[in-house]
Amino acid sequence: MDTKWVVLVILVLLVVWAVWTYNRLVTARNRYKNAFAQIDVQLTRRYDLIPNLVQVAERYMSHERDTLEAVIEARNQAKGSLQQVAGDPTNAEAIRQLSSSEQGLSGALGRLFALSENYPELKANENMMQLSEELTSTENRVAYARQGFNDAVMQYNILREMFPNSLIANNFAFRPAQLLEIEDARKREAVQVNFS
């Protein structure tokens, strides 16, 4: 076989490999973007429930105005962060900002629920119980969607970092994707056991 043909076959194989790798990277990136769309749906539902929750709580917790305002402010900040990420799920800084905003919202909601323990009428209110249940259910769906997103991000990052895929990824601006990590401080607290 002539060396010209060998070189041509090698070049064709390299082009086929490059196209195949590029397409795999595009597929992986689109998968994690789609996974973020699932988070977007659940977080939007969560943000829509919060004003109703605060409205019900206001009737009973008029002395806790600061807490109620903090919940609404944290909700609005998280919603703004979500809109920024929804516009570009590949923006790592926007993902980090959403994580931070979600932590702030979770903390504010935690304070609201802790204070609601002091108001038996509020705890017994049917609307409050229903909204709390819906919020808990939505939070579980958010956690599930976040896990799917983080799995898709991990697969994409592994694919783009593997050699020789990294040659294509770096030359065609496949940026690393950011995991969405929302810390729940309550999960880090030590379990209290009382044997009395």
Domains of the chain with bracketed CATH: 3-178 (1.20.1440.20)
148-170 confidence digits (pLDDT tens): 999 999 999 999 999 999 999 99
Q: What is the pLDDT of residue 18?
A: 92
Is the N-terminal amide bond of 176 cis, ω within 30° of 0?
no
Assessment of whether the complete model's pTM goes beyond 0.85? no
Mean pLDDT, rounded, for 119-141:
86
pLDDT value of residue 188: 43
Question: How far is Cα 79 from Cα 191, in angstroms, rounded to an integer?
Answer: 32
